Structure formats: structure tokens, C-alpha cells
Amino acid sequence: MRELYQVVEVGPAWYQENIPCQEACPVKTNCRGYLNLAAAGEFEKGWELALDPNPMASICVGAGCAGLSAASDLSKLGFGVTVYDALDQAGGTTLAGVPPFRLPREVIDRDIAGIVNENVDLRLSTYVGRDISLRELHDKNDAVLIAAGCFEPNYIGIPGEESEGVMAGIVFLERAYRGRPVEVGKRVIILGSGYTAMDCASTSWRLGAEHMYVIVRRSREEMVVDEEELGETEREGIEFVYLASPTEVLADPNGRVRGVVFIRNKLGDPDEKGRRSPVAIPGTEFEIPCDTVLLALGQAPETSWLSKEFPEFRVKRWRDIKVDPETYQTVVPKIFIGGDYRTAPTTIIEAVADGRSAAQQIARFLDVNAVSVNVPEYHEVVTLRRSSTPDNIGMISLEGELARVYHNMSVDYDRIPRQEMPKLSKNDRRGLFLEINQGYSEAQAIAESDRCLKCNFNIEIIGELCIICGGCVDVCPMDVIHMVDMSDIVDDGSIPAVGTAKKWQNGVAFFLDETACIRCALCVIRCPTDAITMNRYGTVMPAVGNVLPKESIDDEIHLDLTVAAKKAVRPLPQYDPHLAPGYKPLQNGHTNGDSKHAHSPDVNEKELVKH
């Protein structure tokens, strides 16, 4: 099989996607930015930068995340915002479902205070649908966002489920975390395999349980909980039973739970999504004695109250409301739905992102020129060349001046091990309000932040200067750079430079595996003609109203802000034409040329074709 390569032109979208940590974040938090600040010891600035696109950076799953994030963005756009909450504290399910030993309550209070200070009117202990009608809110406001979270527990529907001592996990957690009376026995069974199940198990142990069993219908590999969470739960003495399903809850003569009957499972064939469903194995029933059963089987939104005031609302199969996925609008145009109430339970950052998206849709509905606060623009801001001194590069170290010229370069680069988060020992974890993660020391935080691979630095090759010596290929420690014969390049006519390069007698293309690059800059230093640059791409975030996000302000470079235009304008540097005569920038920032030593544009994507 012969490998053929398809050349693609890349632009800002590609560079954004090439920063995996930021691209994976629903609100596009500038991870590299706050890590670089932390590595420099600027922890406060790093915290502010991380907080900027995510006003509730420390708050976890729940409507509080979406509702308050939407309120924050809408207030920046000039709207007066009123937030109603049935609880006597803001934060939604962060108070009712997130353990204090994972998220201290003072952190929640601090983050909420930062939002309420933005002219957001917060009205607590107000149950919409009882204390104030949805109809009244609809009639007196320009728009209404319902971000009420998911508080209705799911049940399994087996005999004995109504026995005393059987409780929904979300109810158990809410009572425990808000200081309400809650009874837990010595032997606790938790049905479920998600994060709520882990919290139920850990909380039971902290409240005095001695034997905790988490029952999982599938195998460990199919669990959605990550290995770190599983490991921490196991360290607290919780036992996991895999491939088992409950069939009956057993009760004593007084109606109190005394055990649960299970049946063993095996995994069936994969479905269309590749997931294997559990299949019961006849004759494998077994019993586990217990005095408490917690059902961590997921939650759904409580939606019955909506149709009482607006009959046009229709509740779907999973008790959710039909919502336009693009506009977040319901069948009642002024009423929007967001957060977990729209998506089902998610994570902190997903709820925050959904709230911010809902705010944008509300602003558009009200005919306001709302900017997209989630999508940054990328521009080239710095170029590193071989002629740069190592001290200026700050990414490599050399042993001897000759290392900058010859193949036998005595070059080293930093290998920094991962810093493990200091945690409370098991013996010190009994209290509900003792945080498990103790935080890094200053030295640990700097070391861990310095491990960032700086994915916004990208190799580019100036064709006019390349002599195809192969030095960059030789010195690369991660096998990033590959020289590809032009006969192996597919020319579909979409990129004229490819057709031109195919006519060269000794033309080659370079295939760059950006996912393997560690940004050591050895190729930049090795190149004898200064043909390789490592360009840094920075972020320009659109302003929200007249407020420019810190994402742009603190991105390590200067910029001009035109307030009237409500956007950030950053001057872009120009290449020195004397360094690269005849240099012509392509639309994607890469280069090509037609000199006798030139090669085609970088190959950033390869496609295998069988012959």
C-alpha cells in the first residue's frame, strides 16, 4: 500500500483546533494563557484570565451555573437582569449535589458575589410557579430564561423500591450538604455508576457507614467516571460490584430495607453507537444485605408546572420541553430554556457554556448586536527564527556554540514530570467540609504550569530559503517532520501551488505531525538558512458590550482598543523582506515559492489511498 498525501490550506480555525485544551473547553478558556501566567508566578492574573470567559469557574453541575452565567453576560450587554431561585442560597445544584469536600462553600459564595455585583438582582427563596407565576414574569419582562436544573430523580421500578431506607441519591446529597437530617445505615448499597453514585458512596462513608457497595450494570471499562475519581473512591474503602443488575429490594416485617437481590450480567453485542448493553445471565441471582439503598440513576427536569400556565408547552418522553436547538426558544417566543433544564445533567463548564449561549440568543431575539463570546480570532503575533538567541526563545538549552550549526547538536530540552495533587489521607477525610485536594505549593504550581507544550507555536517553512538538507528531520526528537516526495502529493486543483511544485525536478513537501510536536525549537536552531520559523498565534476575543475580556488584555502582547467599534484591534507584525526575498504569504499563513530549492506548502493532513 502506497501512502498519498492530501494538502490542505489551514487558517485561524485550524490553529484554534490545534490547541486541544482550549478547543475542548465549551467556553474556550485561555488555558495556555493562565498556565503561562502561573508558570511566571503570576497566580492572581492567571486566575482572573481563567475566570474571564467563565464567571462561575468554580461552580459545578446545575442550573445555578447556566442561569448566573447568562445573567452575567446579559448584564454586560446593558440589560437589567433579575434572577429567581427557590433555594435560600444561590448556586443551584452546586449546593444540593456537589460535596463540600470537593467544592468549598466559600468558593461558591465568592464567585456568586462577583456576578451579583454586576447589577444583577438576585431574589432567593422565591419559587416560580408558586410565589410568583411564570405568566407574570412573561408579561412584565422582555424575555425569560428558565434554567431550573434537574432535580427530579429517576427510579428503577423494581419490587420493594418503596421500602423505608431506600432514597434517591440526589435527595440524600441535598439533605446531607444543606445540614438537614439524613439517616444512613452501616451497610449502604448505591445503584448507579456516575459521579452522583461516587458522591453518594463517599458521603455515606463520611456520615458513618462501614460497608459501601457501588453496583454497576456494565464493566469498569464502560463507566463514564474517570480513573482518578474511581481511584479516590476506592481509596476510601468503597467496594465496586460490576456486571450486576438489581431485581428486588428485600424488606423486613416492618417495611425496612434489609437487602437487595441482584442477577449477574454479561455484555451483549455492540449497538449502532458501539455500546454493549448488559444481558442478564439466568440462574446467577445473589443477595447483598444492607440497611440503606441510594438510587443514583440520573435526574430529569421538573416540567409539569409549565403547562399549567402555558398549555401550549408539551412535555416529551424524558420530561423535557421541546426547545429550538439553535435559538433556545420554546413554543412561547419570549421564553427560553438553558442549562441542565435543556440538556439534562452535564458538567460545570458545559452548563456555563449553555448559559452564555442562551444569553446570546436572548440578545439576538431582542435585536441587540450581540457578539459571539465563545469564538476567538487567531492572529500571528510573534516569529521565532534560528537567529534568535536561546535566552530569547526560552524553550531550549545549548551546550556550546557549535550546537547551533552541526548535526551532532548537543541540545537538551526540559522534561518536567507531572505534579501529583496533594490530597488528604483517608484517615483525615471523615468530615464533610474537609476539602480532599489540598492544592499545589507555589513551586509545584509553577512546575506543573511549565509543562504546557505551547500549542499556539507552530512550525512554518519558507520555501525560498529551504535547501532540503534534512537537518530539521534529523534533529527532531519526536519524529514530527517528514519529507514527502512530490509524486506522493495529491493534486486536485484546489491549491495552485501544489500543481506548480509538482513540476519541479527535485521538489518535496513537508508533512508535519503537529500532535507530536513538543515545541523544543531544535529545528529552528538547526536550520542553516533560517528557513524554519515557529510562529506564535494569539487570541483576540470580541468585546461584550463595551467591556473587553481579559482574554485579550492579558495575552502577553499590546493591542489598541477601539471602544466605539466595540472590538479589539491588534497590529500584526510583518516579515522582514530582506530575510526572505520573494516571500509570498498564503492565505493560511504558510509560504511557497518558485525558486529552484523551493518546496510545496506544508502538508498538514494526510489521506491514505490504496493502490
**Domain residue extents for the chain:** 3-11+377-413+450-608, 54-151+301-365, 155-297, 415-440
| Residue 359: closest CA among 566, 545, 134 | 545
pLDDT of residue 455: 78
What are the Cα distances from residue 463, in Å, to 87, 514, 589? 64, 19, 13
Other beta carbons within 10 Å of 283: 7
- Which residues 6+ apart lie within 8 Å of 188 measured at CB? 200, 201, 204, 209, 211, 212, 213, 290, 291, 292, 293, 294
The pLDDT score that the predictor gives to residue 188 is: 98
- Band of residue 165 on the pLDDT scale cut at 50, 70, 90: very high
- Integer Cα distance of 241 and 260 in angstroms: 13
Distance CA 159, CA 553 (A): 60
CA 217 to chain centre: 27
Q: Are strands 489-490 and 3-6 parallel, antiparallel or unpaired?
A: parallel
Separation CA 478–CA 476 (nearest Å):
6
0.75 surpassed by pTM: no
pLDDT at 582: 31
Amino acid identity, position 534: M
**Among the listed ranges 134-138, 395-399, 488-492, which one has the minimum average pLDDT value?**
395-399
- Whether 357 shows a pLDDT value over 80: the answer reads yes
Q: What is the pLDDT of residue 226?
A: 87
Cβ-Cβ contacts under 8 Å for 287 (sequence gap 6 or more): 250, 259, 260, 261, 262
Measured in residues, the chain has a length of 611
Residue 93 is predicted with a pLDDT of 79
Least confident of 15-24, 150-159, 357-366: 15-24
Strand partners, 417: none
Query: At CA 534, angle to CA 529 and CA 539, rounded to 5?
Result: 155
Q: Which of 95-99, 247-251, 560-564 has the lowest mean pLDDT?
A: 560-564
Q: What does the block give as the cell for 501?
A: 511544485
Q: What is residue 290's predicted lDDT score, i.e. its pLDDT?
A: 97
pLDDT number for residue 30: 80
Q: Return the CA Rg of the chain.
A: 29
Quick one: which H or E segment has residue 233? helix 227-235
One-letter amino acid of 33: G
Q: Between 55 and 590, where is the model more confident?
A: 55
CATH code assigned to 155-297: 3.50.50.60
Best mean pLDDT range from 63-72, 110-119, 200-209, 391-400: 200-209
In this model, does residue 144 exceed pLDDT 60?
Answer: yes
Which of 226-230, 425-429, 540-544, 556-560 holds the top average pLDDT? 226-230
Q: Which of 593, 454, 455 is nearest to 531 (CA)?
A: 593
Mean predicted confidence (pLDDT) in 359-387: 59
- The answer, yes or no, to whether residue 245 has pLDDT greater than 60, is yes
Asked if residues 557 and 381 have their Cβ atoms less than 8 Å apart, the reply is yes
Q: Is the pLDDT of residue 409 over 50?
A: no
Task: Give me the pLDDT at residue 539, please.
Answer: 56
Which of 427, 436, 431 has its CA nearest to residue 232? 436
What's residue 413's pLDDT? 63
Of 350, 296, 353, 298, the closest CA to residue 320 belongs to: 298
pLDDT over 90 at 385, yes or no: no
Contacting residues for 295 by C-beta, under 8 A, at least 6 apart? 153, 154, 155, 156, 161, 166, 167, 168, 169, 191, 192
Model confidence at 118, in pLDDT bands (50, 70, 90)? low
| CA nearest neighbour of 553 among 573, 534, 565, 539 | 539
| Most confidently modeled range among 315-324, 417-426, 540-549 | 417-426
pLDDT over 70 at 198, yes or no: yes
What class, spelled out in words, does domain 54-151+301-365 have in CATH? alpha beta
- Average pLDDT estimate for 357-364: 89
Identical topology for domains 54-151+301-365 and 155-297: yes
Calculate ∠ Cα 476-478-483, nearest 5°.
60
Instruction: Mean pLDDT check: name the lowest of 157-161, 329-333, 385-389.
Output: 385-389
CA 296 to chain centre: 24
Q: What is residue 74's predicted lDDT score, i.e. its pLDDT?
A: 85
Q: How far is it, in rounded angstroms, from Cα 430 to Cα 210?
A: 12
Sign of CA dihedral 343, 147, 170, 225: positive
pLDDT over threshold 50, residue 563: no
Region of poorest pLDDT, from 317-321, 369-373, 432-436, 510-514: 369-373
Whether residue 397 has pLDDT greater than 80: no
DSSP 8-state secondary structure symbol assigned to residue 577: T
